[in-house]
Structure 1
Amino acid sequence: MPKVSVIIPTYNRNRFLRRAIESVLQQRYADFELIVVDDASSEPVQDIVRCFDDPRIRLIRHETNKGEAEARNTGILNASGEYIAFLDDDDEWLADKLALQVEKLETCPPKVGGIYTGYIVIDFSSGRELFTRIPFRKGDIYRDLLRRNVIAAPSTVLLRRVCFETAGLFDGSVYYGVDHDLFLRIAKHFHYDYLDVPLVKYHIHNGRMSDNPDIVVKGLNALSRRYARERGFLLNRTIMSDGYLDAGISYLAMNQRRKAGLMFLKSIRMNPFEWLSYYHLGISLIGDRHLHQLKRAKKRMLKRFSALP
C-alpha cells in the first residue's frame, strides 16, 4: 500500500496534463500512487496516461461531467494512501515536494492535519515567473482562513486521510473556492504547518475557472452565507470586496455592464474605502470613453483654479 495518494482531476486540458504527470513521476519520493480523474473530457485523456506506462498511475473516468469537487472526491474515495496530495492539471511540482512534505508531516503531532508549501506564479504564455508566495501562518489558522485563503493553491497541500474522515469531502455546492471551504472545515479540527520554500509552479492562463465571473460570484455568495455568522468573518470583508471587484471587471470585459455594476456595488458595500470599485462603477454606468472625458475636464478645471490669484 503506497504512503501517498496523489490526485489529479482533469477536464479537457491535455495540453497541460502531460507536464503535470511528469512532475509527479519525477518526485524524489517514490512511495506513491497517482490517480488521474477524467471528468468526462472530450479529449483522449487515456492516450496521455498510457504513454507513461507506469504501474503507479490509475485512470478513473466520469461518464458525465461532475465538476471540480466531485472529481477530487472520486480520487479521495479511491485512494489507498495514508496521506493525500492534490495537483491541478495545469500546475506542476518541483522534485523535492513530496519528500520534504512527508518528512515534515511524519515529525508533526497528530493534531497537525496537513503541510502546505510556497509556490511560484508563472505566466503560461511567456513562461515568465511573476512572483513567489511563501507561507507565513501555521498552527491554528482557522481565523486566518476566515480572513483569506492563506494556503491558496490545493496543489501545495499534503493532508492526512483522517482530515477527510473528520471534516468531510469537497462540497460541490460552493462552486468556486471549494478548496478554501475544505481548508476551513479541516482547520476547525486540525492545525496546519508549512515549508517556507516554493515547491509548486502555479500557472496563470486563459480558461481558468477564476476567469468565469458567474462561477466566482456563486462561490463568493456561497462562502458568505456559510461563514457569515462566524466570529472574525467581518474581517474578511476586504477580501470579499476584492472578489466582487474582480468579478465586475470580468463582466466589463464581456460588455455585461449591468452585471458589472451590481458587482461593483457589492464590492463597495463590503469595503466602502476601495476607490477602484467607485472608478469601475462609473465606467459601468457611463462608459470608459465618457469617464475619461470627465477626468480630462476635471483636470482642466483644477488647472484653471490653481492659476487664480
Structure 2
Amino acid sequence: MPSYNSAKTIERAVQSVLLQTYQDLELIIIDDYSSDETLRIVEKIKDNRVRLIRLSQNSGVAVARNTGIKAATGRYIAFLDSDDSWHPEKLARQQAFMATNNIGFSFTAYYRNEPNGKRRFVPAPVEMTYKKLLRNTIIGCLTVMVDRTIVGHFTMPNIRTRQDTATWLAILKKGTHAYGLNEGLAFYQVEANTLSGNKVKMMQQTWKMYREQEKLTYVHTLYNFIGYAYQAIKKRISGYV
C-alpha cells in the first residue's frame, strides 16, 4: 500500500485489509514522505501484520510499490492504494480461485465510487492477453493478485503514471495470461477534484507508454489507442448500480 498525504482515507483502506476473512497476510505500507498526519495514523494501528516503511524522499508510486514488492515475504502479491478499499472476502475468494485453477495472475471486477454518490460496476472479462490489454483499461490495480511461484520476479517501471498497466503488459508479454474473477471485490474511490484534468493526462501518458515502454510503431500505437479510448468511454458510461 503506497501512501502519500492520505490521512483522510488511509485508516479505511488499512481496516479493509485487516478485516479480511483471509487472515494469513502482511500489510506493507510504504509512505512516500508524507507531510500530513498519515504516519501518526498508521503508527496508532496496533496489529503485528502491519509493516510501515517510510521513504527518505518523495519518489513516486512506482518506487513505493517496488519497495513493497521487495520487502514482501508472501507467495502472493496484491495491491491496494491508500484511498481505496477491499470487500472483506477479496483475498480469500481470489486466492482460492487462483489455487484451484493454477493461475499465476488474476484480477477481479470492482466498483467505482463516483463523487456524485453513484456506484459503477466494472466487470472482469474471463481472460486477458498482452494484445487484448493493449486496447483495454479493464485491469484495476486494486484488484490484481500475482502468484510469484508461477509468474516469478517482477517490478514496476519507474514512470510516474501507467506503471501498473506497463507492469501487467510486461508479465503478459512473456506468455502469461491474466484471468478475471467477475465478482465486485474492491472499491475504487473517484475524487471530484481529479476528474477533469486526469482524463487528458492519462490519455497522454497512455500514448507515451505505448511509444516509450512498449516500443510500438506509430500505426500500432494509434490502433491500440483507439481501442483503449473506446473501452475507457464504455467503462464510464455503463454499469451504474
Q: 2:72 aligns with which of 76, 79, 83?
A: 79
Q: Which residue of 2 aligns with 1:179?
A: 164
Structure 1 Cα separation of the partners of residues 166 and 8 of structure 2: 29
User: In the alignment, is residue 226 of structure 1 matched against residue 213 of structure 2?
Assistant: yes
**C-alpha distance after superposition, 1:138-186 (max 9, x if no partner):** 1x511111112221x20001111247745x311113x221111111111
Alpha-carbon distance change, 13 to 77 in structure 1, aligned in 2, over 3 angstroms: same
Preserved contact between residue 146 and residue 233 of structure 1 (Cα < 8 Å): no
- Higher share of residues assigned helix: 1
**C-alpha distance after superposition, 1:85-144 (max 9, x if no partner):** 0001111001110000111111123xx3212111111124x5x23310111141x51111
Percentage of identical aligned residues: 32
Aligned residues: 229
Q: What are structure 2's unaligned runs of at least 5 residues?
A: 234-241
Alpha-carbon distance change, 202 to 210 in structure 1, aligned in 2, over 3 angstroms: farther
After TM superposition, the structure 1 = structure 2 runs for residues 234-245 of structure 1, keeping only pairs within 5 Å, are: 234-239=222-227
User: In the alignment, is residue 131 of structure 1 matched against residue 120 of structure 2?
Assistant: yes
SS of 1:224's equivalent in the other structure is helix
SS of 1:89's equivalent in the other structure is coil
Q: 1:143 aligns with which of 131, 150, 158?
A: 131
Which is further off, 233-242 or 209-218? 209-218
Structure 1 Cα separation of the partners of residues 211 and 69 of structure 2: 27
Preserved contact between residue 176 and residue 218 of structure 1 (Cα < 8 Å): yes
Structure 2 Cα separation of the partners of residues 164 and 210 of structure 1: 36
Alpha-carbon distance change, 54 to 208 in structure 1, aligned in 2, over 3 angstroms: farther
User: What is the Cα-based RMSD across aligned positions, in Å?
Assistant: 2.6
Higher relative contact order structure (alpha carbons within 8 Å, sequence separation ≥ 6) = 2
SS of 1:15's equivalent in the other structure is coil
Higher Cα Rg: structure 1 or 2?
1
Q: Which residue of 2 aligns with 1:16?
A: 9
Q: Which residue of 2 aligns with 1:271?
A: none
Deviation at 1:214, TM superposition (A): 5.3
- How high is the TM-score relative to the length of structure 1? 0.67
Preserved contact between residue 2 and residue 31 of structure 2 (Cα < 8 Å): yes
Deviation at 1:226, TM superposition (A): 3.0
Structure 1 Cα separation of the partners of residues 110 and 96 of structure 2: 19
The aligned amino acid for 1:39 is D
Q: Which residue of 1 aligns with 2:238?
A: none
User: In the alignment, is residue 119 of structure 1 matched against residue 110 of structure 2?
Assistant: yes
Structure 1 Cα separation of the partners of residues 132 and 228 of structure 2: 14
Deviation at 1:22, TM superposition (A): 0.8
- Runs of 4+ in structure 1 deviating by more than 6 angstroms, as ranges, are none
Which is further off, 233-242 or 30-39? 233-242
User: In the alignment, is residue 30 of structure 1 matched against residue 15 of structure 2?
Assistant: no
Preserved contact between residue 146 and residue 232 of structure 1 (Cα < 8 Å): no
Which is further off, 38-47 or 23-32? 38-47
The aligned amino acid for 2:135 is R
Q: Which residue of 1 aligns with 2:156?
A: 170
